[in-house]
């Protein structure tokens, strides 16, 4: 499971000219799922994200987590995070989980995230053509991979 976490001043997701999610201060999370992902991957990634100390404290030092600031989040499924560009110039998405595996894991990720931060999380729509807008604050962008826990 890969996640690209972006600290945002604002973010939104629009599908077919209708805004389906919008937040102010918080995180935009792009989530890529592979067939091998499990509930253990979900739990590890959620715990890691909500506890990342990437928000400024009163001294302007990145020392506070999403939980500390009671921030909001949007989680968007993004299979292209598992693109392989090894051969040629057209990316291969064979590593990305098929919808029958990815959708239940994505839904479980969102539910677990909501439980941990004790509030609703904005989402996109799995498989939809989405327009994602954000104002990256910092910029702060972090990549987490449950198969490579660095």
Which of the residues are catalytic? 78-80
Length of the chain measured in residues: 150
Strands of the chain (E only): list them: 2-15, 18-23, 26-32, 55-56, 62-64, 72-77, 122-123, 130-145
Torsion of the alpha carbons at 32, 44, 146 and 36, rounded to the nearest 10:
-70
CA–CA gap between residue 7 and residue 141 (Å, rounded)? 7
């Amino acid at each position: 499971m890969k996640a690209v976490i972006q600290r945002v001043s604002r973010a939104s997701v629009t599908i077919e000219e209708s805004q389906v999610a919008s937040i102010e201060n918080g995180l935009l999370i792009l989530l890529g799922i592979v067939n091998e992902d499990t509930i253990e991957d979900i739990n590890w990634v959620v715990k890691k994200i909500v506890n990342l100390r990437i928000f400024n404290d009163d001294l302007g030092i990145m020392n506070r987590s999403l939980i500390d600031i009671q921030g909001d989040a949007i989680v968007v499924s993004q299979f292209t995070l598992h693109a392989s560009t090894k051969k040629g110039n057209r990316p291969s998405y064979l590593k990305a989980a098929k919808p029958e595996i990815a959708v239940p894991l994505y839904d479980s990720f969102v539910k677990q995230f909501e439980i941990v931060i004790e509030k609703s999380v904005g989402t996109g729509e799995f498989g939809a053509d989405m327009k994602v807008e954000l104002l990256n604050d910092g910029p702060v962008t972090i990549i987490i991979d449950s198969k490579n826990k660095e």
